[in-house]
Amino acid sequence: MTLHVSPVIRLPRMSVARDASFPGERVVPEETPVALTYNGSTHAVMMASPSDLEDFAIGFSLSEGIIHEPADLLSMEIVEHDLGCEIRMWLSDRRGSSYQMRRRALAGPVGCGLCGVESLAEATRPVKTVTGSLRLPPGAVSTAMSDLSDAQRLNREARAIHAAAYWRPGEGVIAIREDVGRHNALDKLAGALAGSSEPRSDGLVLLTSRVSVEMVQKTARMGAAILVAVSAPTALAVRVADSCGITLVAVARGDAFEVFTHPERIDLRLV
């Protein structure tokens, strides 16, 4: 569905520098409330870029464990409102019953600070162990991050948008999704890749943000064995990445980067 709202807009602004001012314009990212509903019940309202919302809905549903595969969604409709967008999803009978039981079991929001998570148990739920035989020379990391930068179409316009991408050696960026929210960008990427049966363990997930534990959990559910980010990780993110088998590479800028977990996938003998 094509929305009437653009993910970036051009706004007038006054620039001031060295005691002088002049009018002009700047391209800035748009963000809009997006309500995600399942079987007629609102699950969460997220602030997101109004683009690739189908991918966002699928990726969010997978990341939250509401569905196990895209086929669990029987239908999806995106409805525009004056105040935002609503993604209406209907679940298969099996997933719908499970979802209703889950909602009844939750005590309600507890203010734990994690988007869409309604209990601390949900926030710290274990993720599957990731395996993968991919081995990379150190130069592949800088190449991948350079390719990511080149592929950020929206960010080139607005300079304030996160990206998540899947990169494969010899092929480059296979898919990229951008959003004002780093979690949203990764959910959109997961949704974009969900329809493919190709393994994820033969490539890298790339992020333009810091690495919090949710980003590691989402990457693990995608099945990717190597996660590379431009900024630093949290301590909990490192612990979870180590426990689930992900090679966590962070502070990847230029030719430099830091490996926090499972360094065996990066051939450091070539450094």
Instruction: Give the DSSP H/E element, type plus range, for residue 256.
Output: strand 256-259
**Where would I find the beta strands (DSSP E) of 30-134?**
32-38, 41-48, 73-81, 84-91
Written as six digits, the tokens of 130 are 């990731």
What is the residue type of 217?
A: Q
CB 111 within 8 A of CB 83: no
Which one of the listed residues 85, 112, 115, 244 is annotated catalytic?
112
User: Is 51 in contact with 64 (CB distance < 8 Å)?
Assistant: no
How far is Cα 166 from Cα 60, in angstroms, rounded to an integer? 17
Contact between residue 262 and residue 247 where contact means Cβ atoms under 8 Å apart: yes
Look up 112 and say whether it is catalytic: yes
Catalytic residues: 112
